[in-house]
Amino acid sequence: MREPNHRFLAVPTAAALALAAALVAGGCSLDKQQTPGLSGPSEVGASVELVAAPDTLNADGISASVVRITLRDNDGKPLSGRPVLFQHDGDGYISPSSASTFVGPVQSGLVMATDKDGNAYILYIAGTSLRTVTVTVRPYGVDTSLTFFRTVEIFQL
């Protein structure tokens, strides 16, 4: 006959409980995490929005679209007083908008300055051919702190 197999259950002592509590308390916790250092974007970190409204025009030589660019810094604050060059490849023409400061014409387009809200506007007056017109905007001048190249399409139908 076999002897019964007795299993003993160890009862933890006060010292063992204290040791377990110390090990658990020294483990992972979220309240002692180090905050990583701040690092910005690898580029300038500017927001550029370019919109043409309306983006579809009659190819009648008189219909117009307002083209607006909005510039913001990496904190979302408007970039004011920045010169931008507007150019196009259509058979119509561009004209300064009274809503923006006209800096001057250049051989290939118009230079406008952004206002206190970071906006600059021009008008594109449609040509007469059925085509897609691309309006291009980029910074103008020697200030290299802001670099971008944006396009928007206007459909002449």
CA distances from 30 to 27, 34, 63 (A): 10, 10, 61
Q: Which superfamily, per CATH, for 47-156? A: Immunoglobulins (2.60.40.10)
Residue 42: what pLDDT? 46
pLDDT of residue 145: 78
pLDDT band at 12 (very low <50, low <70, confident <90, very high): low
Tell me what pLDDT residue 118 has. Answer: 96
Lowest mean pLDDT among 4-8, 103-107, 117-121: 4-8
Burial level of 5, CB count in 10 A (0-12/13-18/19+)?
exposed
Q: For residues 44 and 97, is the Cβ–Cβ distance under 8 A?
A: no
pLDDT of residue 25: 59
The whole model's pTM is what?
0.71
Neighbour tally for 57: CB within 10 Å: 22
Predicted confidence at residue 27, as pLDDT, reads 57
**All residues at 6 or more sequence positions from 73 whose CB lies less than 8 Å from its CB, including other chains:** 45, 46, 47, 79
What does the DSSP assignment read for the chain?
-PPP---PPPPPPHHHHHHHHHHHHTS--STTPPPPPP---SS---EEEEEEESSEE-SSS--EEEEEEEEE-TTS-B--S-EEEEEE-SSSEEEE-TTSEEEEEETTEEEEE--TTSEEEEEEEP-SS-EEEEEEEEE-SS--S----EEEEEEE-
For residue 130, the model assigns a pLDDT of 97
